[in-house]
């Protein structure tokens, strides 16, 4: 069962972190467009966020199972605690981005997109830190 959960975990990782990279590259592409075209394009890219949400859900569900042997010694591993706290921070950041995305689609695009951009960069940084800590903790 552990191997199946590892597959699910890595698929979730690819989906979640891949979404951050996709948004980064799509943002670079939209910067080269005219303002009105860029706005419409950026609003349409929010469809990708579902992939990130599914990836994060797969990561969390499989991660809870994969953490089973580590719960007893959690207090002795500050890097693992840090990784878990970053997962919580990532979930919160993704939730906030999702809220702003709904508002952007509903009719406040410029204002909400300005709020989303730094949060998107933060979520990508948090995701990469989680991966780095996972490599360090589970090597």
What is the reported pLDDT for 107?
87
pLDDT digits (tens, 9 = 90+) for 19-68: 999 999 999 999 999 998 999 999 999 989 999 999 999 999 999 999 99
**Whole-number pLDDT of residue 11:** 96
Other Cβ atoms less than 10 A from the Cβ of 93: the count is: 19
Whole-number pLDDT of residue 119: 93
Q: Which residues of 2-32 are buried (b: 16+ CB within 10 A; e: fewer)?
A: eeebeebbeebbebbbebbeebeeebeebee
pLDDT recorded at residue 58? 96
- Residue pair 53/47 in contact (Cβ under 8 Å)? The answer is no
Q: Are 45 and 31 in contact (CB under 8 A)?
A: no
pLDDT value of position 37: 94
Q: Which residues contact 26 (CB under 8 A, 6 or more apart)?
A: 41, 42, 45, 48
pLDDT tens-digit map of 63-90: 999 999 999 999 999 999 999 999 999 9
pTM above the 0.85 mark? yes
């Amino acid at each position: 069962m552990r191997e199946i959960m590892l597959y699910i975990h890595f698929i979730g990782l690819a989906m979640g972190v891949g979404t951050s990279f996709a948004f980064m590259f799509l943002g670079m592409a939209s910067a080269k467009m005219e303002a009105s075209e860029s706005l419409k394009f950026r609003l349409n890219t929010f469809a990708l966020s579902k992939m990130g949400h599914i990836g994060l859900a797969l990561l969390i569900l499989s991660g809870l199972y994969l953490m089973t042997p580590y719960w007893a010694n959690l207090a002795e591993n500050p890097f693992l605690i840090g990784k878990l706290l970053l997962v919580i921070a990532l979930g919160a950041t993704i939730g906030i981005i999702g809220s702003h995305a709904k508002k952007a689609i509903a009719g406040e695009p410029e204002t909400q997109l300005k709020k989303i951009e730094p949060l998107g960069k933060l979520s990508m940084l948090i995701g990469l830190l989680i991966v780095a800590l996972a490599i360090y903790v589970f090597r």
